[in-house]
Amino acid sequence: MPKPIYILNGPNLNRLGVREPEIYGHTTLAEVEALCREAAGPLPLEFRQTNSEETMIGWIHEATDTGAGMIINPAAFTFYSMAIMDALKMFDKPLIEYHISNIHTREPMYHNSLVSGVATAVMAGLGAGGYAHAVRALMDMIGPEA
Ligand code: CA2
């Protein structure tokens, strides 16, 4: 049985497609999950969202013990959570930090990610549909023995 890919989403992303469509588009998180499952094919996928830092840290630990790789959109945790950064440091498989918007063309408070320094790769600005590109990139990084 192959190990699963974890796709973890942080605070407020459950509102995707509902609020601020000019920044985040009209695609809902349920639709993002469907795109990711299509891209992953038969590979098992754990797709989750939480507004809780404690829950997110628990999921990162779980992924460290059982996952083949991870895509994380830490949302606001990106910019202030040293606890999430420390948990991700222990994740020793391919790790993609994903942002729907290009955080570097936004206000300065969105420019300094604590996660980028511990991620294998960073993707930003490809929209909600870009999660599927991240899944394909992660599968390439993991290789055939996933
Ligand atoms: O662009 C991204 O994916 C972000 O991670 C989204 C975060 C923001 O703090 C990051 O800078 C960039 C915000 C997530 C808020 O999610 C919403 C979704 C729909 C409507 C309103 C907020």
Using the CB atoms, write b or e for 69-78: b if 16+ within 10 Å. Answer: bbbbbbbebb
Q: Does the structure show a pLDDT above 90 at 109?
A: no
In the chain the domains, ranked by start, together with CATH numbers, are 5-145 (3.40.50.9100)
The pLDDT tens digits of the residues spanning 46-71 come to 999 999 999 999 999 999 999 999 99
If you search the block for the tokens 């083949």, which residue do you land on? Answer: 68
Mean per-residue pLDDT over the chain, rounded: 95
Q: Does the structure show a pLDDT above 90 at 24?
A: no
Structure tokens at 82: 């040293």
Name the active-site residue from 24, 26, 110, 133.
Answer: 24
Ligand 1 centre distance from Cα of residue 145 (Å): 33
Name the active-site residue from 6, 98, 99, 131.
Answer: 99
Ligand 1 centre distance from Cα of residue 123 (Å): 14
Please confirm, yes or no, whether 131 is among the known catalytic residues: no
Please confirm, yes or no, whether 99 is among the known catalytic residues: yes
Q: Does the structure show a pLDDT above 80 at 41?
A: yes
Share of the chain above pLDDT 70, in %: 99
The pTM for the full model equals 0.96
Half-sphere exposure in the Cβ direction for 126 (13 Å, CA): 15
